[in-house]
Structure 1
């Protein structure tokens, strides 16, 4: 079911708040003449179980998975995979169809030598090769996949850039400077409104959208910042006067801009853009059709250290933890928030880059700093989990 449908029927309400491990039930009443969902009031908790069951005992690779799921390691930092030495500090990632197989792209969040790499898989999951798609950039954190099958790799540095990369390794990566110079984190494309949403990893960061002059060409366009009051509800957008930001940061150029505490992952699905903020451990829901901002998760447990986020066509969200219990938590349209998997033995790491294969049967992600937990990310591990995912 599309998230647009869920929003309208109240199955997922923009502004609904999670408490503990479950959504709060809420009345979603729209006054006459007011379009779209409202921020609901709190109600009794719903009581739904996980669709997969709890994670079991850790396997040989330290993966605690629900029944019916299996995992493997596909790459380790410093070791060769498909002829390529895998990069340190693997971070944001995405999957792309590739003939009878697929490609998983992963960023490298290290200074000066960051960039991104890709692993090519065959139809049975066999590794056919690996290669670099971006080199010589700085602290490439998250990013986003475009509808025209490119990867947006974002630099998480002062006046960072967005690079558009070819996951197939045939074209050189290009900086898209019109998308602004700031501490970029993640990107999510909205093909319905033909915009790209962008998060900013600052303690007073903003939430942006980029409106390209031509959809599919990110070389020119208009950068806008979300403006709202202190809470949720209706929002507006204002143009950022100088996206290049040589003197004044983009987040300080528009007085009415709403500030967020450490923007992280970003995912668009059926009329809603979900994004996470680590400073207050929230998952936000921007109802793009009605231009309203809500909160989808605001609690201390079970999901903590919110970071990268992805989703499935069924409306399930998968949110990776930076620290916490080293879990990927599942948020379902049935109002369940529950751990899906856990990595044991990596207490000083974070989970990054969750992305599904095109057929939805395999989930890829990394432990950025691995079991050693060193800041340089020299012990990074990239995993694949296969199983009966809801599709």
Structure 2
């Protein structure tokens, strides 16, 4: 198996903390295997029902249907990201409901006190994941047939629909400033991995949509094929290019240092693309883990930290965020108890890398109205 390069992070721009866009590369074997996590074993559940390693704490920052800073937090919180805001930061969070959808934002000062909350996108459908852009915008993606991508502003300026990025069952997005490309996942069992090449970098109003072309193996080389009709009607975008590689339920996506990682829920895999070499391989496969049982199942949203660790959230499983380390170890970082009818969504780090935000989409009730958004603080390694 070709050896892979993992994360060592820096932010993409002055504002976005999508860790890992100017990263030092560390060669590692793939795929990741079971082992002890970098922070030690999980401790008993705390008052919020979260098991964390020693030295870490959690707090609830928002609950669906309840007021936070005078604003009613949305139902079914999903994908999210953090943007620097002076000495503080803003956490944006999608709402995966239909109809209604959209995106809300929480503003924090330098002391992590919540100073505001507000809506930045409304009246869309099933806003699942998305991606932070280097020009301080959040792409919010509709997970519906012929869904759109919306370019939103964390500070509340009007959102803009971006049809040139294709109409399909969107999931996540990630920016590659080196190749001036936006990668996109598709959440269907025979989905594709796409890239959008804007005509002008930073302007998503026009450009070229492409899909990966490759064989059926779990590793090899790839090329890109242009989608003739990004509108996806009458022929779906994934069915327009001969030789397009199929992925079983594309989910989370993260870019760093010439590499993109994305998850596929249908087969519980994390894939790695070496974009400089145009090769792909598996970074994680739950059917290939040893010794013992796989700690990571129900793979979903993914983000990276400044240490070079990859954090993967579970949709189902046993409600964990698992860490995949630079030495190819996969282990639970946290576990949410008493919420088996939910899923973990929207993991994102603050600019300093010492706070992690995420949501339990349906909380203890198992309903979209029961969502809970959390903050975890502690000695994250750097």
* Alpha-carbon distance change, 5 to 312 in structure 1, aligned in 2, over 3 angstroms: closer
1:366 corresponds, among 359, 371, 375, to: 359
Q: Does 1:292 align with 2:292?
A: no
Contact 1:363 1:385 in 2 (8 A): yes
CA distance in 2, matches of 1:276, 1:97: 26
For residue 332 of structure 1, what is the aligned residue in structure 2? 325
- Does 1:383 find its partner at 2:369? no
| Number of residue pairs the alignment of both structures matches | 357
Counterpart CA distance in 2 for 1:221 and 1:74 is 38
Structure 2: runs of 5+ lacking an equivalent: 1-7, 10-19, 288-293
Match of 1:44 in 2: none
* Match status 1:164 vs 2:154: no
Runs of 4+ in 1 over 2 A off after TM superposition: 1-7
Q: What is the CA deviation profile of residues 133-175 of structure 1, one whole-angstrom value per residue up to 9, with x for unaligned ones?
A: 0000000000000001000000000000000000011x20001
Q: What TM-score do the two structures reach when normalised by structure 2?
A: 0.91
Per the alignment, residue 306 of structure 2 pairs with 313
Distance (Å, rounded) in 2 between the aligned partners of 1:146 and 1:278: 24
Equivalence map 1:213-362=2 (5 Å): 213-231=199-217, 232-300=219-287, 301-362=294-355
- The CA distance in 1 between the partners of 2:284 and 2:353, in whole Å, is 24
Distance change (3 Å), C-alpha of 1:112 and 1:17 = same
Aligned partners of 1:224, 1:5: CA distance in 2, in Å?
A: 26
**What is the aligned-residue RMSD (CA, Å)?**
1.3
> 1:255 offset after TM fit, Å?
1.6
Task: Give 3-state SS (helix, strand or coil) of 1:324's partner.
Answer: coil
Is the counterpart of residue 203 in structure 1 residue 220 in structure 2? no
CA offset at residue 82 of structure 1? 1.2
- Match for residue 190 of structure 1? 176
TM-score normalised according to structure 1 size: 0.89
Mapped partners of 1:10, 1:133: distance in 2:
40
**Are the counterparts in 2 of residues 18 and 299 from structure 1 also a CA contact under 8 Å?**
no
Deviations 1:102-157 (A, max 9, x none): 00000000002000000000111100010000000000000000001000000000
Paired with 2:47 and 2:306, the residues of 1 have a C-alpha distance of 31
Pair 1:148-2:135 in alignment? yes
More off after superposition, 377-386 vs 306-315: 306-315
Q: Does 1:18 align with 2:7?
A: no
